Structure 1
């Protein structure tokens, strides 16, 4: 059975006298434990595709199946981490994660088991030292770590990351990229990340899905990243496979951008 199957998916929105097709004929299969990055120019429907997988947006035509079951609504088996951490500002770090754990495991885990699980997920993102602090009392990078912990605490089958590091400075972004790689290595979970950053896509992913420009965007190319794990960003800078993959993504994006400019 295919783990995640996206089959002939289209998404369109009705407008003033016309229908705008955002995504057209999206076909993609993702294996269990795979890390997939989705990249493309602004307006190509990357976040729309992620929202369709999350069940936050209705599919116009086609179907998405997770372990053979149709995805047609949000669920804890697909947790989303957005660029905005979306933490509740009046709750502590601990209580923000507790909220998700109670929602998903309130009837299946004891209070002690839930507490242990909250602490384990916060330890995964190195945030146990800040359990009593509120979001306004910690840095942006720390808030995003808590957002990732809250998502992981639901034990999702798929972790969906919508440009989670886009608003962070370069050094904090690098630290969080390393943290995500470490989590993926430990948990072997399935991750799908939207990104504008070519280096981030190549560093993190097993495959890079490159989207054509919108409207009616589709998958232009799927590029395997043939770089063994674990990966070290400094070592990779001179790795021929890394350089070759990075060049292939840049070439795809540049050609698409040039095509749009020519059409204008």
Structure 2
């Protein structure tokens, strides 16, 4: 596999009041361009910390994060993050929230008219152009997440990082937004890395699933390929043998890890 994003023997620890907390240890992972990778594991295994390292929001303690062979050591628009909380600015409209990112990244390379067209193109992509003049308080949780995704995509990131982006949504809204993300990935071919607790979500969306061991000093326990053709239909997958086999493999890993923790307590 050609390395587009590479985590090379990454460690992460935090020092507080003379005590060192080892969060991640020896993380090595290669992700190809255009790949959709999910990271799954029990609470406290360092999934979000790992995403923050890739985003450049947190420095590594050892090792390196490389994007196209360049070290990641600070935040940048080539690595856009969508959080579980949409993080929209409540005093701005939907249009203004996306335009803020577009103006930040493209102020010197796109004219005002081009920036306007680009904002609307990204709102169209997530089916939110009709709500461009509404403020966050006037739209639903699922719609807010769509706007958050549009804002992230509007920066034309090399990698889209998703930190449990559907976790706060009801089941039906979650399913619709999963389908929207599948469609965006198919159309744009972005490289996506997603943190999730949801096994079905991971199998539905991913090319590979990275399963983390429990912390402290969490490691990559297993990596599962999901050899299911895309586009994927969630109804058809409900009885698909490969889907069920992948789902079983992830559940077995998580169950065995959970049982290990209980036995140690």
TM over 0.5: yes
Q: What SS is found at the alignment partner of 1:98?
A: helix
Q: What SS is found at the alignment partner of 1:133?
A: coil
- Counterpart of 2:21? 20
Structure 1 position 2, deviation (Å): 1.9
Q: What SS is found at the alignment partner of 2:87?
A: coil
Q: What SS is found at the alignment partner of 1:255?
A: helix
Structure 1 position 163, deviation (Å): 0.2
User: How many residue pairs end up in the alignment?
Assistant: 264
1:80-130 per-residue CA deviation (whole Å, 9 max, x = no partner) reads 000000000010000000000000000000111111111110011000100
Asked if 1:161 is matched to 2:162, the reply is yes
- Counterpart of 1:132? 133
Tell me the distance in 2 between the aligned counterparts of 1:96 and 1:71. 26
Asked if 1:185 is matched to 2:147, the reply is no
Alpha-carbon RMSD:
0.6
Tell me the distance in 1 between the aligned counterparts of 2:16 and 2:98. 39
Structure 1 position 18, deviation (Å): 2.4
- Counterpart of 1:120? 121
- Counterpart of 1:210? 211
Tell me the distance in 2 between the aligned counterparts of 1:113 and 1:91. 20
Structure 1 position 15, deviation (Å): 2.5
Asked if 1:50 is matched to 2:54, the reply is no
1:51-73 per-residue CA deviation (whole Å, 9 max, x = no partner) reads 00000001100000000100000
- Counterpart of 1:40? 41
1:124-181 per-residue CA deviation (whole Å, 9 max, x = no partner) reads 1000100000000000000000000000000000000000110000000000000000
Tell me the distance in 2 between the aligned counterparts of 1:71 and 1:143. 29
Q: What SS is found at the alignment partner of 2:25?
A: strand
Asked if 1:76 is matched to 2:77, the reply is yes
Tell me the distance in 2 between the aligned counterparts of 1:25 and 1:146. 36
Tell me the distance in 2 between the aligned counterparts of 1:194 and 1:243. 21
Structure 1 position 252, deviation (Å): 0.1
Structure 1 position 40, deviation (Å): 0.1
- Counterpart of 1:238? 239
Q: What SS is found at the alignment partner of 1:220?
A: strand
**TM-score computed with the length of structure 1 as normaliser:** 0.99
Q: What SS is found at the alignment partner of 1:28?
A: strand
1:180-204 per-residue CA deviation (whole Å, 9 max, x = no partner) reads 0000000001000000000000000
1:7-39 per-residue CA deviation (whole Å, 9 max, x = no partner) reads 000000113332110000000000000000000
Structure 1: gaps spanning 5 or more residues: none
Tell me the distance in 2 between the aligned counterparts of 1:166 and 1:254. 20
Q: What SS is found at the alignment partner of 2:6?
A: strand
Tell me the distance in 1 between the aligned counterparts of 2:77 and 2:187. 20
- Counterpart of 2:220? 219
- Counterpart of 1:152? 153
Runs of 4+ with deviation above 3 angstroms: none
**TM-score computed with the length of structure 2 as normaliser:** 0.99
Structure 2: gaps spanning 5 or more residues: none
Tell me the distance in 2 between the aligned counterparts of 1:236 and 1:131. 35
